[in-house]
């Protein structure tokens, strides 16, 4: 069995252990064009009998500039994989009925996202289950096979769905475009608010397979169910008997933009009583409820500090008979992810960042003992059955595929090999994880990746990447926006550091960045860079460029003013330029207020302590600035201000702006353009 690592033990990833594959054909590097065309495997679901796996595959329609989803099926041993949905549109979120006869999923084939299902006992195409006038945002099935929950965007004062549909249609036809607001949020992530709320409804599935209803079970809650902008069906679910449903919601009121007080609610499926708040005594985040198999308990994730979105997510267990709550693994210093019970209810499975990996863990419900189920690498979606676990696994040199293991974490085996043909001649650069003495001589971890065409004795230019968050991690995983293998494919060595503030090293390490954005992290980056240059003789410290997005973009501006002689060029994506204006233009104020110790008008000195705008006089490094105009987290004016400062100072600079992208660059052709522009900028300063 693979055990959880203790203390500061390094998950060793050596160049020898991670040798790149060899082929008889001429090897080539991976490119951005390859990256956007890879099949993306996700959301594995075991059938109740454990004999089949349903999962989602996203493929790229490059000409249409979008991804298209399909539901796939295969035997649990990995044989017989095939697309189960072939009609026009996208098909995703596969879910099995309790008897295994039906495979439900969301599909856009009717013109809007609705719930459909395949009858596994009959041949033929899928049939439509819901035919609602509004888009189904997400859904969940009850184990009794009789109930369905759906999330729909509605106006709170509308008596039925038709009212919401009619009002939306009237707005679309109205020639007047003005929007009037009387409270925040006015916009969130990449969308201007239109007055609707995501609410939870239940429907009854008839013997004919058609869903009827709906009944609003979250009625009276002024908030989104699931939460915005990234909440999904992982935030709600039925009890085993189908009589009740638990869900996550945050009461909006006037404090929504500066509150992280999510709560877990319980409501009868038939809507016969108003929902009950189970976690009202905790003013911090409570989320992602999951019923135990016997229906007697509810597991959920919980933070303890209000206003802090990166607090440790502890695993709580709520006894529904006694209303008593206990923490399951109080000594486990990791922040848990999605939860799932074993079929006997004795074990909870979850994922968490851990020393530069993202691993699958098993938690004994009775004792709180935690054991690792997976080792190095990144585990994404997973599903637990009677005889084992199916999960997605990826790494720095491997996009996600499906794997299977027994419940103890032994006998891991690969089930799918998507992208093998596309990548068969690709040569990846070898990589290694390292540790060094960072700020205050505390242990900090990082990675180095060799260029794809590495030759011993040669020095290579370096891409030094700084991750965002800042409470995040850049580790051993496959990324579709900041993928080190792409820079290795460009001929660069790559270095990246999990500085103080990163996740997966204990909550105290994560907490340490708060109020010190330009302090400890910069020291870690400087010490990590010096350590890497001393340890790896193929790194050319005279030809290095720094790159980063979001907080990493902030750090690019901070480096420009406070470590101005380190790099030959900089790439800044969606970076913060001025902390003061950032506070008054971003949407989720809880983040700014926690990180800087309060609102800007109360503690202006805290915002100025690490404000890049105050050090523009020291800037001298050429910089490429990139921003999305639909980025409301770090508004585009931050990028424009950065570019203005560079131009006014006479520093070589470029601005790449995307009118149709948010905090991320998601469209395939935009992604290729992004990578080509970044590569040209790096080559201009580091290779020519």
Residues marked active site are found at 550, 631, 663
Residues 6+ apart with CB under 8 A from 132: 114, 150, 152, 161, 214
**Spatial CA neighbour of 73 closest among 99, 50, 47, 52:** 52
How long is the chain? 688
Cα separation, 222 vs 254, in Å, equals: 10
Helix (H, G, I), strand (E, B) or coil at 555: helix
* The Cα angle at residue 141 between residues 138 and 144, in degrees rounded to 5: 165
Cα separation, 547 vs 370, in Å, equals: 36
- C-beta pairs of 327-334 under 8 Å, 24+ apart in sequence: 327/302, 327/368, 328/299, 328/363, 328/365, 328/368, 329/363, 329/368, 329/369, 329/370, 330/368, 331/368, 332/363, 332/368, 332/370, 333/506, 333/507, 334/361, 334/504, 334/506
Contact 29, 490 (CB under 8 A): yes
Cis preceding linkage at 226, omega within 30: yes
Q: Are strands 187-188 and 191-192 parallel, antiparallel or unpaired?
A: antiparallel
**Spatial CA neighbour of 686 closest among 525, 490, 462:** 462
**Spatial CA neighbour of 236 closest among 273, 270, 286, 192:** 286
**Residues 582-596, buried b or exposed e (16+ Cβ, 10 A)?**
bbeebbbbbbbbbbb
Residues 6+ apart with CB under 8 A from 91: 56, 69, 70, 71, 85, 105, 106, 107, 108, 109, 116
Q: Are strands 569-573 and 493-498 parallel, antiparallel or unpaired?
A: unpaired
The values of phi and psi at residue 602, to 5°, are: -95, -35
Residue pointed to by tokens 């700020």: 439
Residues 6+ apart with CB under 8 A from 495: 446, 447, 448, 449, 462, 463, 464, 465, 528, 529, 532, 539
Q: Are strands 138-141 and 147-154 parallel, antiparallel or unpaired?
A: antiparallel
* DSSP type of residue 454: -
Tokens standing for residue 21 = 């594959």
Tokens standing for residue 233 = 């069906």
* The Cα angle at residue 409 between residues 404 and 414, in degrees rounded to 5: 25
* The Cα angle at residue 642 between residues 682 and 688, in degrees rounded to 5: 15
Partners of residue 40 on adjacent β-strands: 58
**CA-to-CA dists, residue 13 to 363, 452, 475, angstroms:** 26, 17, 11
Instruction: Write out the E strands in 374-492.
Output: 378-384, 389-395, 398-405, 413-414, 431-437, 443-449, 460-466
């Amino acid at each position: 069995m693979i055990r959880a690592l203790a203390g500061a033990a390094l998950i060793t990833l050596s160049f020898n252990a991670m040798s790149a594959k060899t082929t008889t054909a001429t090897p080539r590097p991976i490119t951005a064009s390859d990256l956007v065309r890879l099949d993306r495997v996700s959301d594995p679901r075991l059938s109740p009998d454990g004999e089949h796996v349903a999962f989602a595959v996203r493929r790229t329609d490059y000409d249409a500039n979008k991804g298209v989803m399909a539901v796939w099926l295969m035997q649990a041993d990995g044989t017989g994989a095939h697309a189960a949905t072939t009609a026009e549109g996208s098909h995703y979120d596969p879910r099995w009925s309790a008897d295994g006869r039906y495979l439900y999923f969301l599909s856009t084939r009717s013109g809007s996202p609705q719930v459909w299902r395949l009858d596994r006992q009959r041949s033929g195409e899928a049939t439509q289950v819901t035919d609602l006038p509004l888009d189904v945002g997400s859904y969940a099935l009850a184990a009794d096979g009789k109930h369905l929950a759906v999330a729909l965007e509605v106006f709170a004062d509308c008596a039925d769905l038709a009212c919401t549909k009619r009002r939306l249609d009237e707005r679309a036809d109205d020639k007047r475009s003005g929007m009037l607001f009387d409270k925040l949020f006015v916009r969130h992530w990449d969308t201007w608010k239109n007055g609707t709320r995501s609410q939870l409804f239940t429907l009854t599935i008839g013997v004919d397979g058609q869903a009827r209803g709906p009944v609003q079970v979250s009625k009276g809650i002024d908030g989104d169910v699931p939460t915005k902008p990234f909440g999904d069906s992982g935030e709600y679910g039925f009890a085993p008997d189908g009589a009740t449903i638990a869900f996550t919601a945050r009461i909006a009121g006037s404090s929504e933009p500066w509150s992280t007080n999510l709560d877990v609610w319980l409501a009868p499926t038939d809507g016969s009583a108003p929902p009950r708040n189970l976690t009202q005594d905790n003013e911090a985040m409570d989320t992602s409820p999951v019923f135990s198999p016997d229906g007697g308990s509810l597991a959920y994730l919980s933070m303890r500090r209000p206003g802090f979105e990166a607090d440790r997510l502890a695993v709580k267990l709520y006894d529904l008979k006694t209303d008593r709550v206990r923490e399951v693994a109080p000594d486990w210093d990791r922040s848990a992810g999605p939860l799932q019970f074993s079929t006997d209810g004795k074990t909870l499975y979850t994922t968490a960042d851990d020393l530069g990996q993202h691993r699958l863990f098993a938690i004994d419900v009775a004792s709180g003992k935690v054991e690792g189920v997976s080792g190095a690498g990144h585990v994404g979606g997973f599903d637990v059955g009677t005889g084992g676990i199916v999960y997605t696994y990826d790494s720095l040199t491997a996009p996600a595929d499906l794997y299977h293991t027994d419940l103890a974490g032994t006998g891991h085996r690969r089930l799918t090999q998507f992208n093998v043909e596309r990548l068969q001649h690709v040569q990846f650069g070898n990589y290694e994880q390292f540790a060094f003495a960072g700020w205050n001589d505390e242990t900090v971890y990082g990675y180095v990746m060799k260029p794809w065409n590495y030759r011993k004795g040669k020095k290579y230019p370096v891409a030094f990447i700084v991750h965002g968050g800042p409470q995040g991690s850049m580790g051993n995983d496959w990324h579709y926006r900041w993928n080190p293998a792409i820079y290795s494919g460009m001929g660069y060595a790559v270095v990246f550091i999990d500085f103080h503030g990163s996740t997966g090293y204990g909550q105290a390490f994560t907490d340490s960045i708060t109020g010190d954005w330009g302090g400890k992290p910069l020291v870690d980056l400087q010490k990590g860079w010096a350590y890497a240059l001393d340890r790896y003789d193929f790194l050319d410290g005279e030809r290095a460029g720094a790159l980063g997005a979001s907080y990493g973009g902030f750090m690019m501006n901070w480096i420009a003013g406070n470590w101005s002689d380190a790099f030959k060029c900089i790439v800044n994506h969606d970076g913060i330029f001025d902390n003061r204006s950032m506070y008054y233009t971003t949407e989720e104020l809880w983040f700014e207020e926690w990180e800087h110790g309060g609102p800007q008008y109360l503690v202006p000195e805290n915002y100025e302590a690490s404000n890049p705008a105050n050090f523009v006089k020291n800037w001298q490094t050429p910089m490429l600035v990139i921003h999305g105009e639909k980025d409301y987290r770090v508004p585009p004016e931050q990028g424009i201000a950065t570019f203005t400062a560079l131009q006014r100072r006479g520093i070589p600079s470029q601005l790449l702006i995307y009118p149709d992208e948010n905090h991320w660059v998601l469209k395939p052709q935009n992604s290729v353009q992004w990578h080509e522009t970044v590569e040209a900028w790096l080559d201009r300063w580091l290779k020519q």
